[in-house]
A = this chain, B = another copy of it.
Amino acid sequence: MNDTRNDVIDLLLRHRSIRKFRSDPVPDEHVRLAVEAGQMASTSSAVQAYSLIRVRDRATREAIAELAGPQPKVVECGAFFVILGDTRRHRIAAAREGNAYDQRLESFLVAAIDASLFAEKMVIAFESMGYGICYIGGLRNDTERADELLELPEGVYPLFGLCVGVPDESPSRRPRLPVESVLFEERYPSDEAVLHQLASYDEGYVEYLKARGVETPVAWSVQRGRAYAEPKRTHLGPYYRGKGADLR
Contacts and interface: CB of A to CB of B under 8 A. Distances in A.
Interface residues of A, number: 131
B181 A89 contact: yes
Contact of A93 (B15, B41, B116, B198): B198
A181 B49 CA distance: 11
Given A13-B37, A181-B89, A194-B89, A102 B230 contact: yes
Interface in A230-248: 230-234, 236-238, 240, 246-248
Nearest to A124: B124
A84 B176 CA distance: 17
A87 B29 CA distance: 39
A104 B174 contact: no
B121 A53 contact: no
Contact of A185 (B54, B109, B121, B125): B54
B55 A104 contact: no
A32 interface: yes
A30 B57 contact: no
A170 interface: no
B89 A198 contact: yes
Interface of A: 1-9, 11-15, 17, 29-33, 35-42, 44-48, 50-57, 60, 84, 86, 88-97, 99-107, 109-110, 112-113, 116-117, 119-121, 123-125, 128-131, 133-135, 137, 140, 149-153, 156, 159-160, 166, 173-174, 176-177, 179, 181-188, 191, 194-195, 198, 220-222, 224-234, 236-238, 240, 246-248
Given A12-B124, A94-B227, A116-B117, 7 more contacts: A1-B30, A1-B130, A39-B177, A45-B137, A97-B225, A104-B232, A105-B233
